[in-house]
Chains A and B, each alone.
Chain A
Amino acid sequence: MALLLGLVLLGTASGSMEMQHILADNSLRTHAWYPVFTVLILIGCFSKSAQWPLHFWLPGAMSAPTPASAYLHSATMVKAGIYLLLRLHPVLGETPLWQSGLMIFGLITLLVGALLALHQHDLKAALAYSTVSQLGALVALIGLPDGAGVKAALVGILAHSLYKAALFLTAGAVDHATGTRDLTKLGGLAKWLPGWAVVAGLAGLSMAGIPPLLGFVAKETLLDAMLESPLALLVVVVSAALTVAMALILVWDVFMGERHDSTQDVHAPDLGMLVGPAVLVCAALIAGVGVDHLVKPLVQPVLHKEIHLVLFAGFNSAFWFSLLAIGVGIVVFMTRSQWRAFTMPETPSGKQIFEGVVGGVERVGDLVLRSQNGQLRYYLFVILGTVVLLQLSAGLSHITETSFQFAWNDSTDILRGLLLLVSLGAMVASIVIRQHFMAALILGVAGYAVGGLFLLEPAPDVALVQFMVETLGTVLIIIMLAKISAPERQAAMQNLWGQSRSGLIRDGVIAILIGVGVGLFALAAVNHRATLPNTISVWHLENALPLLGFPDVVGAIVTDFRGMDTIIEITVFSVAALGVLTLLSTPDTGSDWPRHFKRLAHGFRSNVLRHELKTSKIHHAHDKAFAEPEIETVFQSHFSTPLTRSVSAIVLPFALLVALSHLLYGGEGPGDGFTAGVISGLGVALWYIVYGYNEAQRRLGWLKPRYLIGTGLTLVIANAALPLLTRQPFLTHISFDAIHLPANLHLSTTLFYETGIFLTVLGCTSTVMEAIAYPGEVEPL
């Protein structure tokens, strides 16, 4: 909240929200609000990057699963604050407020984090506190005058990410292998987990700052930057020593020495799990040795000046301080039991204050919400009610300046109005209609009407995708509805309107209030829409054709200018599809799911399944009351006529042809790899509906959805990474215009990129369809 407020003030002060404009504004330091927004932004960044006294959330978040903590706590989340500080440094920095604020809090955090880390028994908590300490160092570096510390901060970010993620993953593996993360219980694991011991050892060396790892370079530059100020230097050396000790504890106590607690069995995790941390550690090693060639090009562009960055800078003062830190660190490590016993004085820490405040709020909340009835809908109601109150309080002040112009520009506006009416009417109908199938179909109409609006804009690309996705969504919900037996659906539907009148009124009121609030907000937003196109859009419009040969600007943005977004988007899509698969392909007892999952994933599905259905029927034969409602027969009696069978047999190859044309001519008009994938996916879905699950599985034996996802994603990423070989940026597209092809075809790497997206999306849609259409096993309740 503080950050948001600070940024809004900053934007107001400089008169623009565009980063470029703010960064060019040199008058900000003398602005009357400077202290206010700077302090607010600093508070925001400090809490994000876990600075004292707001550091407590980071160790608290350690209960998350290991990949999450490795990713969040070592790299992305906590560095977000640092990143923002670095970005704003050129305009807000170099003032006493900025420098002293960053130095004081950064150094305190550095020391406190390093001290607290030594006290932890939990492996992950110790890592978390050492992360806190490193973040403190980074913040302090940014606060140094004349940007002297920026180089060290950048190297530090890279080094820390590499070794800390590796250590977090190791901690997860240790936890998995032994069932404990307690440092006092662990020991001697090298015998069982030799590979992990090597990885953790290297990561620990990088953390301790031993050459030739990148951590050494980071620490050297850190010490070098701090040489000017004796107090800061003292803090840094002490903390560096503590860090060395911590690294030794983490590696030695876990992997060497004797095992203290032999009650637990050690079972080695998959070797595949080792790949991730091993890659990270190797990167740290390589980057350390080749720091001049690998890291310098990354850091240089930020600083706008020539920098000096080598692995070994000679026997300068930084080196001697580094040596001192390592020596002291080893001493601390030797005497670690005393250090751990030493208790911190009891002062109300930030965490206690925070918990006190939260506790107070909770008590007040308990009074208000005496009826915690466990209904999710009720909670949702409370949340939404709060939203309404917030909306109204904020919106009412703006309503006065909003004009209610009501003008029909031309005939298309009438068409737009009609389409909006159609979609609204369809939505109302989907609420009122009692049959799920009809409601789902009518909801599809609403989506199509919105697609029509996109088309009228004119935004053909968006409209096409909207049509595709709408169709897919409707097909999906219909397949799913067929899976739920009619009595269940009827029971659910009867309860729909059967609930108490007061409940209906309550929901109605909250819905109307939300609608009014959002409507007012939308009105304000629409009326204050920028009249001029923004700079980015204009740039895209001008450059799509010359740079990429794409007349379709939206296509160009999706495939190239914002190609990274698309990569992430299809990754999310794949994860969603695989999520649905795991959710539905596991037997509902949950006991032997890995076996089952593998079987499902490995292709000999239909045979096994038919066998399984047979056995499961025999198994449950004595219990006729719970016999599976025959979904196959339901489907077949409804949809499977000779006509539909022959039509759908043609549709899939045809859909694949259409998909191919979309791929080849994607840059010319609407449509790209994504729509191609969805179109083919719809063909597949039709087969599932018409032929039923078993027959569709048999006919689609050549289609391996999971392999498609993997192949597609690999193709996309490989294609994006390919230009790196020729020292061009990630995602550069190479055009082969020299090769002339018939029929106006343009050959470029974009085609491979699109093909990758196509394969991924086809794989995803087929996976989802297969998972939802899967008959499953009958579990008597």
Chain B
Amino acid sequence: MNVIYAAATGIMFALGVFQLLRRDMIKSAMGFYILFTAINLFFFAVGAFNGQVPAYSQNLPKGQPSDPMVQALILTAIVISFGSYAILLGLIAKSARRYRTADLDTLNHLKG
């Protein structure tokens, strides 16, 4: 399973970076989102992996609980990455509204 998780993280990074480098800003934003997901998954695979029961301390069968600390950190990371995603989308909406284009190179030419 380790190898698969690691490979998946790598592939997600590759896809995210490729998307990020597109001219189309909307696709770029999607690339960002893929990267966020990949990073969260990586943290998760390194930290909280291999638990047998949820991290609850009552009414549960015995077993190795999933590491709650890492889970809490990922929770925060998800929220913060959503915040930055929202800002990114806001920027794109603004530039689309103002310059009427979602294409980075056209935007660059407008800079004059």
Contact = CB atoms under 8 A, between A and B. Distances in A.
A579 interface: yes
A431 B11 contact: no
A380 B21 contact: yes
- SS of B interface (majority): helix
Interface string B81-98: 011111101111110111
Nearest to A430: B30
A473 B66 CA distance: 27
A729 B28 CA distance: 45
Contacts of B17: 384, 510-511, 514-515
Contacts of A469: 78-79, 82
Interface string A723-758: 000000000000000000000000000000000000
A416 B49 CA distance: 12
Interface string A561-601: 01001100110110111011001100010000000000000
A584 B72 contact: no
A584 B90 contact: yes
Contact of A534 (B21, B49, B69): B69
Contact of A525 (B38, B46, B57, B98): B46
A557 B69 CA distance: 7
Nearest to B39: A518
B10 A522 contact: yes
Interface in A477-513: 477, 480-481, 483-485, 488-489, 491-493, 495-496, 499, 507-508, 510-512
Interface string B4-19: 1111111111111111
B24 A496 contact: yes
A768 B23 contact: no
Given A522-B5, A551-B58, A573 B83 contact: yes
Contacts of A562: 72
Interface stretch (A293-301, A331-339, A452-460, A712-720): A452-460
Nearest to B92: A480
Nearest to A431: B19
Contacts of A525: 6, 42, 46
Given A522-B6, A545-B57, A580 B87 contact: yes
Contacts of A416: 1, 4
Given A477-B29, A553-B57, A576-B87, A776 B13 contact: no
B67 A480 contact: no
Interface string A426-439: 01101100001001
A274 interface: no
Interface string A258-281: 000000000000000000000000
Interface in B14-65: 14-27, 29-30, 33-34, 37-38, 40-42, 44-49, 51, 53-59, 64-65
A541 B57 contact: yes
Interface stretch (A239-247, A404-412, A602-610): A404-412
Interface string A375-399: 1110011001000000000000000
A73 to B, nearest CB: 25
B54 A460 contact: yes
A94 to B, nearest CB: 34
Contact of A492 (B24, B49, B64): B24
Interface size for chain A: under 10, 10 to 19, 20 to 34, or 35 or more residues? 35 or more
A712 to B, nearest CB: 14
Contact of B14 (A381, A514, A527, A776): A514
Given A420-B8, A584-B90, A439 B30 contact: yes
Given A427-B15, A480-B92, A507-B18, A459 B104 contact: no
A461 interface: yes
Nearest to B109: A374
B28 to A, nearest CB: 8
A399 B59 CA distance: 43
From B41, B72, B104, residue with most partner A Cβ within 10 Å: B72
B55 A488 contact: no
29 contacts: A375-B108, A380-B20, A406-B3, A416-B4, A420-B4, A427-B15, A459-B55, A459-B71, A462-B78, A465-B78, A473-B85, A481-B26, A483-B96, A484-B93, A485-B100, A496-B23, A508-B18, A511-B21, A515-B14, A515-B15, A518-B42, A522-B42, A526-B45, A526-B46, A545-B58, A552-B56, A573-B79, A584-B93, A768-B90
The 9 A-B residue pairs with the shortest CB-CB distance, nearest first, are A519-B10, A515-B14, A576-B83, A523-B6, A580-B90, A511-B18, A557-B72, A522-B6, A492-B102
Interface of A: 374-377, 380-381, 384, 404-409, 413, 416-417, 420, 423-424, 427-428, 430-431, 436, 439-440, 443, 446-447, 450, 453-454, 457-462, 465-466, 469, 472-473, 476-477, 480-481, 483-485, 488-489, 491-493, 495-496, 499, 507-508, 510-512, 514-520, 522-523, 525-527, 529, 533-534, 536-537, 540-542, 544-545, 551-554, 556-558, 562, 565-566, 569-570, 572-573, 575-577, 579-580, 583-584, 588, 669, 674, 768, 771-772, 776, 779, 781
Interface of B: 1-27, 29-30, 33-34, 37-38, 40-42, 44-49, 51, 53-59, 64-72, 74-76, 78-80, 82-87, 89-94, 96-106, 108, 111
Given A428-B15, A476-B86, 9 more contacts: A377-B104, A420-B8, A430-B34, A492-B25, A519-B10, A519-B13, A537-B68, A537-B70, A771-B90
